[in-house]
Structure 1
Amino acid sequence: MAFTRATGKHRRTSRTARTTRNIAGIATLAATGVVASMASPALAATDEATTHDTGLSRAVVLGSELADRIEAQADAQQAAAEAAAAKAKAEAEAKKRAEEAKRRAEEAKKKAEAERRAKERAAREAERRRLNAYVAPIAGSYVSTPYKASSGLWSSGSHTGIDFHAASGSSVHAVGRGTVVEAGWGGAYGNNVVIKMNDGTYTQYGHLSSLGVSVGQTVTPGQQIGLSGSTGNTTGPHLHFEARTGPDYGSDIDPIAYLRSHDVNV
C-alpha cells in the first residue's frame, strides 16, 4: 500500500520557502541593527564579517533540516500505523471467514448425521415390516382344493387344509416369521414342515419332495423351506398347507381366512 504526504492548508511549507522567510527575517534584523548588536564587536567592524560570520544563516538551514526529519518521522509513523491497522483488519476478516467456514462445516456434519440416522431408522422400519409380513407359500399359485372339502381320501372325511397347485420341485416358502418345530416324515403328509409362528399360531407344509430346514431353525417370511412334491397320501404333486392353533393334527383353522388376516391375497 502506498502512502502520500499530506497536502492542503495543513501541509508544512517547503524547505525553500521556509529558508527564504528566515533569511528575509535576518535581513530585517540586520536593517534595524539587531544583527549588529548580536554580532561580536570584532566581527561588526567589517562588512564581510557581518555578512558571513553571524552564524544565523547556518542556524536557519539546520532548523529546516531538523523540521524535515521530524516531518519524515511523523509520516513514517503514520504509515506504520496505517499498515498495522490494515493488518489487524485483514486478520479480523480472515478470522471471521474461518469461523464462518467452521460453522458451515459443523452444520453440514450435523445434517449428514441426521440423514444417516434417518436412513437407519427407515431401514430398521423396513426390516421390521418385512419380518412381520406374511406371504403366500407358493408364489403365483392358486388354491386347487379348498378347506373342508369332503372326500374319502382324508381320514377325517374332510380337508383340514388347502392345496396349492404346484409342479414337483416348486419352491415352498415360510408364510411368516417363526421357528421350525417339525421337519421330516409326517405319515399321510409325507415329508412335512411345521412352523410355530411369532403370533403363537402354527403353519404346516405337506407332501414335500425335499426339506430345506431343520428343527429349531428360525425362518423369515418368504424363506425357502423345501420343494413341493407328492410324498405321503396324495394323488399328485401339490402343496398341502394348514394353519393351526397348536402343533398337532386336529387344531386346524381356516387357512384362507388366516392368510387374508395377514394381508395375503389368496
Structure 2
Amino acid sequence: MAFTRATGKHRGASRTARRTRKIAGTASLAATGIVASMAAPALAAPAAAPAESTGLQQAVVMGDELAGRVAAQADAQEAAAAQAKAEAVAQRAAAEAARRAEAAEKKAKAEREAKQRAAREAERKRLNAFVAPVADSYVSTGYKASSSLWSSGSHTGIDFHAATGTSVHAVGAGTVVEAGWGGAYGNNIVIKMHDGTYTQYGHLSSIGVSVGQSVTPGQQIGLSGATGNATGPHLHFEARTGPDYGSDIDPIAYLRAHGVDV
C-alpha cells in the first residue's frame, strides 16, 4: 500500500524548494557584493558567475566613469580659468594701449595747440610790426621844413631818398583807401592802418595795389618816382590822423613809436 505526503499549512517545504530558495538567496547576496561564506558543507559551491555580471565589476565601471567625469570637469575648469586669465591679460593690455593712445593724442593736441598759439602770436607780431617805407634809405627832407615849394609853406611829411623804380613798402598792416592820382602828390597811395591812423606814399612812378585791398607790413605797394610836384625822384611819406590832407602828424615820431629806426 502506497503512502502520500500530507499537504497543507503544516507541510514542510520540499528539499527541491529549499535548495532553490538557498541558491536564490546566495545569488542575491552575491549581487550586493557580499560573498556567501555560510554554504552547507555537503552542498557543492555553484559555478562562479561571469566577472562582468558581478556587482564588484559594476562598481569599478561606475567608479571609472565618475573619475572620468571629475577629470573632465577639472580640465574644463582649468581651461576656463586659463581663458579667463588670458582675457584679463588681454583686457589689461587693451586698457594700457588705450591709455597710451589717449595720452599720445592729448600730447599731440597740446603740441598742435601750442604751435597754433605760436603761429597766431607770430602773425599778430608780424601784423603789428612796422618797417621803413624804403629799405636802406634815409630822410632827405624833414617834417615841417619851410619852402615855397609847398602850398602850406612847410613840409607835411618827410622825403626818403630813392631812385626811380625803388620798391616802396607799406609800413604796417592796413587797408588801401586811396590809390591813384593825388594832384601835387602825383601817383599816391593812402592806407588806413590797423591802429586807426593813416599813412600816405606820394610821387610814385607806379602803383601796385587797389582800393579795398589789405596789405601787410613790408608788402610792396608801388615804385618810387617823381610824379606830381617834385624836383626829383624820391618817396614822400606822411602819417595822418585822417585820410585827407591837413591831418598830418610827425612821421618820424610815428615810425619811431612803432619801432622803426629812422
TM over 0.5: yes
Contact 1:36 1:50 survives alignment (8 Å) = no
Distance (whole Å) between structure 1 residues aligned to residue 190 and residue 49 of structure 2: 135
Distance 1:53-1:45 versus aligned 2 partners, 3 A rule = farther
1:104 to 95, 100, 104: 100
Q: Give the TM-score taking structure 1 as reference length.
A: 0.74
Counterpart in 1 of 2:152?
Answer: 156
Unaligned 5+ segments in structure 2 are 1-34
Counterpart in 2 of 1:36?
Answer: 37
1:90 aligns with 2:91: no
- Greater helix percent: which structure? 1
Contact 2:203 2:226 survives alignment (8 Å) = yes
Counterpart in 1 of 2:234?
Answer: 238
Cα root mean square deviation, aligned = 3.0
Contact 2:52 2:58 survives alignment (8 Å) = no
Instruction: Give the deviation of 1:56 after TM superposition.
Output: 11
Instruction: Give the deviation of 1:209 after TM superposition.
Output: 0.1
Counterpart in 2 of 1:116?
Answer: 112
Instruction: Give the deviation of 1:207 after TM superposition.
Output: 0.9
* Structure with bigger gyration radius: 2
Distance 1:234-1:58 versus aligned 2 partners, 3 A rule = same
1:211 aligns with 2:207: yes
Q: Give the TM-score taking structure 2 as reference length.
A: 0.75
Distance (whole Å) between structure 2 residues aligned to residue 174 and residue 125 of structure 1: 21
Distance (whole Å) between structure 2 residues aligned to residue 187 and residue 54 of structure 1: 138
Q: Percent identity?
A: 72
1:251 aligns with 2:247: yes
Contact 1:164 1:238 survives alignment (8 Å) = yes
Distance (whole Å) between structure 1 residues aligned to residue 52 and residue 214 of structure 2: 118
Equivalent residue of 1:139, what SS?
A: coil
Name the amino acid aligned to 1:135: V
Distance 1:70-1:110 versus aligned 2 partners, 3 A rule = same
Name the amino acid aligned to 1:149: A
Counterpart in 1 of 2:72?
Answer: 76
Task: Give CA-to-partner distance per residue, 1:176-228, whole Å, 9 cap, x none.
Answer: 22232322222222111122223232211111001112233332322222111
Greater mean deviation of Cα atoms: 193-202 or 56-65: 56-65
Unaligned 5+ segments in structure 1 are 1-33
Distance (whole Å) between structure 2 residues aligned to residue 124 and residue 54 of structure 1: 101
Equivalent residue of 1:36, what SS?
A: coil
1:167 to 133, 145, 163: 163
Distance 1:52-1:44 versus aligned 2 partners, 3 A rule = farther
| Matched positions, count | 230
Counterpart in 1 of 2:192?
Answer: 196
Counterpart in 1 of 2:18?
Answer: none
Counterpart in 2 of 1:262?
Answer: 258
1:181 aligns with 2:177: yes
